[in-house]
Chain A
Amino acid sequence: MGKLRVHNIEAQTGTNVDLGAAGDVVTLASDSIQTNLYKDSGGNTIFQSDGAGTLSNVNSAMSGAGPKLILSQTASSSANISFTSDIDSTYDHYMFIFVNIQPATNTVKWEVQFNASGQTGYNESMTTVAWYVQHWENDSATSGPELTSSGTRQGNGTSFQCMAEDVGNGSDESLSGEFHLFSPSNTTNIKQFNWLINDYDQGDRSQQRGGGGNINTTSAITEVQFKFSSGNINAGKVKMYGMV
């Protein structure tokens, strides 16, 4: 068995060094290989590291079939949180996660609207349903499940859709939950969405709120905006995922 003892192997000419030939197996008995860029034999990048362990250009098949985080936005006295790119035909299903969204103003509604491709403004026509259940901390009462208050559901309306009402702005008060948008790029059908949220209401109640609806357009939806009915978003995080 031939054995070569060497410290460095470099290309004599050009920039390629070949190890083995077709059909050969190259085994690293040392158990470790270090490089930043891994490609397949066709030169397609599998993933790339920055040398500090942070990867980019990761092949989609490497990271499982679960939700793919596309963008995370953190509010800090923000008027709204808008997603204006990356909503396209890549995914059939987009999921938005709300984490401890806190309003600057007390007793406000958490809302959503959309913008279609080639248009301006968040003013798409929607038909929606919404329900809630609530329970007071002092156990004085419960409500629901029942439809939300009048005016918070729409029939071909173009207002922002209310997803939670009476959200409190106390120091430990917030809402968390999720919102799902289906096939936003479909140009044949209208678009469906739904949400499920729990919020700490200004009256010291736990409120579970859900709903759904249609966006009554066959134009592709490319932008989504979340905001409170009045005042800024004091704190919180909205994360957009694509569902494989």
Chain B
Amino acid sequence: MSRVYTDTIEPRKPTQDITLGTTGETITLPGNDLRVNTFKDKGGNTLWTSDGSGTLSSVNSALKGNLVLLSTQTASNSASVSFTTGIDSTYDVYIFKFSDINPATDAADISFQVSSDGGTTYAMTMTTSFWYMYHFDTTGEGVNYWAAGDQAQGTGYQKMVTSTGNEADEAAAGELHLYAPSSTTFVKHFYSIFNSNFVGSGSQGTELDYASGYVNSTSAINAIDFKMDSGNFDGTIKMYGLL
């Protein structure tokens, strides 16, 4: 076995590539430490790129997993939070995860509408239903349909919770699942599940809210907007795509 001792290997001519081994050969690094920012396959397709500080970009989808975080937005006394890019036919299901949604106004409801024009207009037609279960901190519990939370071919914002408290430690959290928003054949189904600090009837407690329905349009949805039915809000909303 021949051995060459050197500190640097450079191409024989500037800008030429260096080829290590031939087809079928294995390149081994006994030192177990390879440092490079961009990994590509043999066809030159980038598998990932690092910025040299450990932050990766251009990561091949097969290395991302099937639930892909697309965007995170943090509301801080915000009137609304919109996602106007990244909603397309890449994913069959878009999942929005909400945490620490705290309204500025007491008993406000977080709600959403969608857009087929990139966010210029949020007023697509929906038919929806809404029901909830609640249990007060003191006494009282129940299950109810909530007519004020549904829509029949309505174009308003769809509520996902009822009456979230605005005290410092009160919040709502949950998920919204939106199916095949880019379909131009079918209506778009969705459902949301939230748990919140519910305030009502002079008391407070926990409430589990289920909203669901369809956006009654065969136009592709490409943007979504979240806001309270009254006042601003704090919280984090993450948009994921499920491959």
Chain A residues close to B by CB (< 8 Å): 1-28, 30-36, 38, 41, 47, 49-56, 58, 62-69, 97, 99-100, 102, 133-139, 142, 144-145, 171-178, 196, 198-200, 204-208, 235, 237, 239, 241
Chain B residues within 8 Å of A204, by CB: 127
Decide yes or no: A25 and B189 within 8 Å by CB, A15-B24, A16-B25, A35-B42 being known contacts: no
Complex CA–CA separation, A178 to B157 (angstroms): 24
Q: How many chain-B residues does the 8 Å CB contact rule pick out?
A: 81
Cβ of B62 within 8 Å of any chain A Cβ, yes or no, is: yes
Complex CA–CA separation, A5 to B33 (angstroms): 22
Most buried by B among A52, A133, A138, A200: A133
Chain A residues within 8 Å of B5, by CB: 2
Residue in B20, B38, B47 whose beta carbon sits within 8 Å of that of A49 in the complex:
B47
Q: Say whether B19 contacts A16, CB under 8 Å.
A: no
Q: Say whether B145 contacts A142, CB under 8 Å.
A: yes
Chain A residues within 8 Å of B4, by CB: 4
Residue in B30, B183, B190 whose beta carbon sits within 8 Å of that of A20 in the complex:
B30
Q: Say whether B66 contacts A138, CB under 8 Å.
A: no
Chain B residues within 8 Å of A14, by CB: 1
Complex CA–CA separation, A21 to B31 (angstroms): 5
Q: Say whether B6 contacts A9, CB under 8 Å.
A: no
Decide yes or no: A10 and B187 within 8 Å by CB, A16-B26, A22-B30, A33-B36 being known contacts: no
Complex CA–CA separation, A20 to B33 (angstroms): 9
Q: Say whether B34 contacts A28, CB under 8 Å.
A: yes
Chain A residues within 8 Å of B179, by CB: 99-100, 176-177
Decide yes or no: A172 and B25 within 8 Å by CB, A8-B19, A41-B32 being known contacts: no
Q: Which residue of B lies closest to A35 (CB)?
A: B42
How many residue pairs, one in A and one in B, have C-beta atoms under 8 Å apart?
Answer: 275
Chain A residues within 8 Å of B185, by CB: 100, 171-172, 235
Cβ of B202 within 8 Å of any chain A Cβ, yes or no, is: no
Shortest Cβ distance from residue B42 to the other chain A in the assembled complex, whole angstroms: 4
Q: Say whether A2 contacts B31, CB under 8 Å.
A: no
Q: Which residue of B lies closest to A3 (CB)?
A: B8
Cβ of B131 within 8 Å of any chain A Cβ, yes or no, is: yes
Chain B residues close to A by CB (< 8 Å): 1-2, 4-13, 16-22, 24-45, 47, 60, 62-67, 92-93, 127-131, 143, 145, 147, 150-153, 177, 179-180, 183, 185-187, 189-191, 210, 212-214, 216, 218, 242-243
Q: List 24 A-B contacts (CB under 8 A).
A: A1-B8, A2-B8, A16-B26, A19-B28, A20-B30, A26-B33, A30-B36, A34-B41, A35-B27, A47-B47, A49-B41, A50-B41, A55-B60, A100-B186, A137-B153, A139-B153, A145-B143, A173-B186, A173-B187, A176-B179, A176-B180, A178-B177, A206-B127, A207-B129
Chain A residues within 8 Å of B152, by CB: 135-139
Shortest Cβ distance from residue A2 to the other chain B in the assembled complex, whole angstroms: 4
Shortest Cβ distance from residue A129 to the other chain B in the assembled complex, whole angstroms: 14
Chain B residues within 8 Å of A65, by CB: 65
Q: Say whether B92 contacts A239, CB under 8 Å.
A: yes
Chain A residues within 8 Å of B7, by CB: 1-3
Apart from the given pairs A2-B7, A8-B20, A32-B38, 11 other A-B contacts in the complex at a CB distance below 8 Å: A2-B5, A4-B4, A7-B12, A9-B20, A19-B20, A52-B43, A138-B153, A145-B145, A174-B186, A177-B191, A208-B213
